């Protein structure tokens, strides 16, 4: 579900849904489901999560298993048509870069006046005629608070995208505020870009979205 919403976010943000070939599976996929890698001057494979580094790009499905396979099976060397060094820590590095990019985007949204903070403020916004497009909550947010915010969304007929995979400390540092538990982003390009990257990060860690009865896939215990 998150990947599908991320693809929609890319299109709504005005970016064409470009496709690339995954060097591991051979599948042709939209960039919202891939991450780009390049070879640096020392012949090391590095993740290019912003797809801006110079060099020939090698695209891999954006999930842990695909990158591990690319490293273990020397697929990067095959794609580069030469011997390159792909670190066994490449998965962890890619995850950290994606998470860091998202936290930086949150900070930019705050400085641009696109972010809302605090339980009461977000609950009122969810019940207003201009509700937020995205909810971000700390991974240790109280269940009661999350239920009340979700109830406000349900009452307004909303299904906001929810990200709950960052710590209170991560959110507080990124947003330059103390003890950030709940935040939200207004509709717009910044929210769409964050949703796009959240879809990619979901290949490495659970986003911990709200459970929607009759809609979400609940993990079996």
Give the model's confidence band at 148: pLDDT under 50 very low, under 70 low, under 90 confident, else very high: very high
| Residue 219 in domain | no
pLDDT interval class at 212 (50, 70, 90): confident
Residues 59 and 131 in one domain: no
Q: Please identify, among 77, 93, 109, the residue that sits at the C-terminal boundary of a domain.
A: 93
How do residues 64-76 score in pLDDT, each as one tens digit?
999 999 999 999 9
Q: Are residues 104 and 189 in the same domain?
A: yes
Number of domains in the chain: 2
146 within domain boundaries: yes
> Are 136 and 195 within one domain?
yes
46 lies in the same domain as 110:
no
Model confidence at 211, pLDDT cuts 50, 70, 90, reads confident
Sheet with 161-166, strands from edge to edge, namely: 115-117, 182-185, 134-138, 161-166
Residue 117 to residue 135: CA distance in whole angstroms: 10
For the cut 70, the answer to whether the pLDDT of residue 52 exceeds it is: yes
Task: Give the structural domain span for 192.
Answer: 99-201
Residue range 37-44: average pLDDT?
97
Q: In the prediction, which pLDDT does 215 show?
A: 53
**Does 117 lie in the same domain as 89?**
no
**Is 213 part of a structural domain of the chain?**
no
In a domain? residue 218: no
Same domain, 143 and 49: no
CA distance 26 to 28: 7
Query: Domain ends where: 67, 93, 119?
Result: 93
* CATH number where 50 lies: 3.30.1230.10
pLDDT score recorded for residue 103:
97
141 with 70, same domain?
no
Domain assignment present for 104: yes
Instruction: Select from 35, 60, 93 the last residue of a domain.
Output: 93
CATH number where 118 lies: 3.30.1330.30
In a domain? residue 35: yes
Q: Please check whether residues 109 and 85 belong to one and the same domain.
A: no
Q: What is the pLDDT of residues 162-198, one digit of tens each?
A: 999 999 999 999 999 999 999 999 999 999 999 999 9
The verdict on residue 6 lying in a domain is: yes
Identify which of 96, 84, 81, 92 has the alpha carbon closest to the alpha carbon of residue 42. 84
Do 37 and 108 fall within a single domain? no
Asked whether residue 221 is assigned to any structural domain, the reply reads: no
Instruction: Grade residue 13 by pLDDT with cuts at 50, 70 and 90.
Output: very low
Record the pTM. Answer: 0.86
Q: Among 24-28, 172-176, 216-220, whose mean pLDDT is lowest?
A: 216-220
Token pair for 213: 């009865």
């Amino acid at each position: 579900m998150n990947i599908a919403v991320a693809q929609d976010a890319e299109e709504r943000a005005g970016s064409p849904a470009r496709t690339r070939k995954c060097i591991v599976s051979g599948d042709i996929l939209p960039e919202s489901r891939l991450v780009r890698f390049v070879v640096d001057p020392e012949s090391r494979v590095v993740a290019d999560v912003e797809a801006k580094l110079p060099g020939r790009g090698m695209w891999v499905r954006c999930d842990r298993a695909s990158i591990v396979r690319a490293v273990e099976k020397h697929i990067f060397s095959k794609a580069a048509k030469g011997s390159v060094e792909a670190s066994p820590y490449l998965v962890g590095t890619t995850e950290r870069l994606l998470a860091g990019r998202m936290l930086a985007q949150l900070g930019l949204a705050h400085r641009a006046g696109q972010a809302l903070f605090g339980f009461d403020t977000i609950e009122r916004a969810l019940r207003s005629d201009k509700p937020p497009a995205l909810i971000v909550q700390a991974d240790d947010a109280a269940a009661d608070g999350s239920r009340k915010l979700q109830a406000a969304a349900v009452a307004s007929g909303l299904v906001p995208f929810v990200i709950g995979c960052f710590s209170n400390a991560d959110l507080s540092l990124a947003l330059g505020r103390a003890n950030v538990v709940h935040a939200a982003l207004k509709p717009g390009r910044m929210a769409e870009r964050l949703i796009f990257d959240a879809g990619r990060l979901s290949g490495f860690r659970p986003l911990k979205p709200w459970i929607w009865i009759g809609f979400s896939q609940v993990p079996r215990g």
